[in-house]
Structure 1
Amino acid sequence: MQLRTLPLYAVLLMVMLPSCSKYFLPSDAEPTNYRMTVAEEPADTDPLHAIIAPYKTALDRKMNSVIGEVSGRLFKEKPESPLGNWVADALQTETQAISKGAIDASVQNYGGLRIPELPAGPITLGKIYELMPFDNMQVIVEMSGSITQRFFDLIAADGGWPVSKEVQFVLKGKRADRLTISGKPIDPQATYRIALPDYIANGGGDADFLIDLPRENTGQFVRDLLIRHVQRLTEQGLPVSAISNGQRIIWGD
């Protein structure tokens, strides 16, 4: 009990004691400025640095390791771009490889791509982390035909997101007009399996209408699927490249 009341006594003493004393302030004063500096201990003598250094060296070595080659500059823009197309196609391939069933198409939200381009030349592991720094998981959402249309209308209203080659539509106002998947118009009665990040499936990007839909959780980070795809291409002696002919999202009249 005494331990709980001690802080209160201390506070009361601090409040009361100043009231028992008189303070006299100077009638005038000349301000003086002082420059204060903080002496930093050299990094090589900092004990914490000594602990972290080996791990940082190992991490830097891993992040700087080259995992593939980009054949030509892949840049990001709306409504369609080489970088967005490559990401969506790579995710379609890798997600299909681990899914329990067929996947109709893959989508990646535009804001999820965090760098403006992948330059031509060697690509490091760290560059993929820069491209996709978030720990978003890849999921496959089952949508009715009407929900699928609504989802791609959302994408159109935002000016276009990366979509895999199976998708084609005309961006007309805020609508995905003449939407087709694998060359076929959307069937309102059909069910479509669309692969996308859990951020979107959980309602991000104004896609709250997807939250309660059935889904398959792949258990894989989106980033790891991209890394796997680059490594797979490298094993096959192939570079990272993209199909970009402006035929996925087409500007309407």
Structure 2
Amino acid sequence: MRLVFSPFPRVLTLGLGLVLSLAGCQKAFVPTASLSTPTDIPVNTQLAPDPTAEATIAPYRARVDQTMNEVIGQAPVALEKGSVESSLGNFVADLTRTQTSAVYGKPIDLGGMTSGGLRNPIDKGPITVGDVFELMPFENEMLVLTLSSETVKELFDYAARVQNLSVANATYSMRNGKIESIFIGGQPFDINKTYTLAISDYLANGGDNMGFLKKALKVEQTGLLARDAILKEIKAITAQGKPVTGSLDGRVKVLN
């Protein structure tokens, strides 16, 4: 039996033997060791960096800086968030569908992204890898959901009511926060069909009050991170010699 003391104040790590005893695998063990009085050391600019630690970290910091500062595209105009419809929301919703479809190997009917999942705009000018990490700092995976027509209707009802969801490959009209018409892939919404949706695992699991997505008939993993989908899209656009743009294309029509 051994006790392993952490170098950090107030932290005590228990050895394997003690864990087993507490789990009932051995007789009860009562430790006799006690912690000394902790010493609080404020971390501020008056605390000089440790030269050994700095030397150890330096090559890793340089590598991270080199990666994050890599320019992967150019935006002639800023892509920004907004309510109802936005250039940034449309751009990311569209690529969630196309990039996930490429990994999935089959066409996907819809793509979706909420404005809450987009933490920063894409500013005008050069776009770096670090910019994409600031836009999408989460380790969210893209999933493919197969939804009943009833759940798809709930999706669009949510979009009209909350006005923070961008949807790809669809157009809809709304009045006073309520849906009046829906077209998917240019075709009228069909209550007799099921539809597939590319969306992050966070939203698929009910994030942003989208609990209705947990009623999906089928959930398929892709292994594609949402952030990587954005990086791939920007790099692909740049490889074609094109700028990175997003637009308000009228996919949402607000009726008076």
Residue 188 (structure 1) aligned with residue 191 (structure 2): yes
SS in 2 for 1:243: coil
Instruction: Report the TM-score when normalising by structure 1.
Output: 0.80
Q: 1:207 aligns to what?
A: 210
CA distance in 2, matches of 1:38, 1:82: 41
| 1:120 equivalent among 110, 124, 128 | 124
User: Which position in structure 1 is the counterpart of 2:174?
Assistant: 171
Q: Is the 8 A contact 1:154 1:174 kept in 2?
A: no
Aligned to 1:219: 223
Question: Is the alpha carbon distance of 1:42 and 1:85 closer, same or farther for their aligned partners in structure 2, counting shifts above 3 Å?
Answer: same
For residues 116-167 of structure 1, the C-alpha deviation after alignment (integer angstroms, 9 at most, x for no partner) is x212211000000000000111011111111101111112211231222x21
Letter in 1 for 2:187: K
Letter in 1 for 2:157: D
Deviation at 1:6, TM superposition (A): 4.5
Other-structure match for 1:198: 201
Match in the other structure for 2:37: none
SS at match of 1:78: coil
* AA of the residue aligned to 1:200: L
Structural RMSD (CA):
2.3
**1:34-45 map, 5 Å:** 40-43=46-49, 45=50
Higher alpha-carbon Rg: 1
* Alpha-carbon separation, structure 2, partners of 1:37 and 1:205: 36
Q: CA 1:209–1:161 in 2, change beyond 3 Å: closer, same or farther?
A: closer
Q: Is the alpha carbon distance of 1:151 and 1:79 closer, same or farther for their aligned partners in structure 2, counting shifts above 3 Å?
A: same
- Distance in 2 (alpha carbons) for counterparts of 1:131 and 1:97: 22
- 1:25-174 to 2 correspondences below 5 Å: 40-43=46-49, 45-115=50-120, 117-164=121-168, 166-174=169-177
Question: What is the CA–CA distance in structure 1 between the aligned matches of 2:180 and 2:44, rounded to whole Å?
Answer: 62
**What is the deviation of 1:41?**
4.4
Counterpart for residue 9 of structure 2: none
8 Å CA contact retained: 2:79, 2:246:
yes
Which of 30, 47, 68 matches 1:4? 30
After superposition, the C-alpha distances for 1:175-231 in whole angstroms (9 at most, x for unaligned) are: 232011122221111010011111111111222222242122111100001101111
Structure 2 residue aligned with 1:231, among 235, 241, 249?
235
- 1:5 CA drift (Å): 7.5
Q: Take 1:5 and 1:206, find their aligned partners in 2: how far apart are those partners?
A: 47
Q: Whole-Å Cα distance in 2 between the matches of residues 66 and 144 of structure 1?
A: 42
Partner of 1:23: none
Between the two proteins, the alignment pairs up a number of residues equal to 221
Give unmatched runs, 5+ long, in structure 2: 1-26, 35-41
When the two structures are superposed, what TM-score results if normalisation uses the length of structure 2?
A: 0.79
Amino acid at match of 1:70: A
Equivalents in 2 of 1:82, 1:38: separation in Å? 41
Partner-residue secondary structure (3-state), 1:83: helix
Deviating 4+ runs (over 6 angstroms): 36-39
SS of equivalent residue, structure 2 residue 165? coil
Deviation of 1:38 (Å): 7.4
Shift of 1:66: 0.3
User: Aligned in 2, Cα 1:5/1:57: closer, same or farther, shift over 3 Å?
Assistant: closer
What is the CA distance between 1:94 and its match in structure 2?
1.1
8 Å CA contact retained: 1:201, 1:210: yes
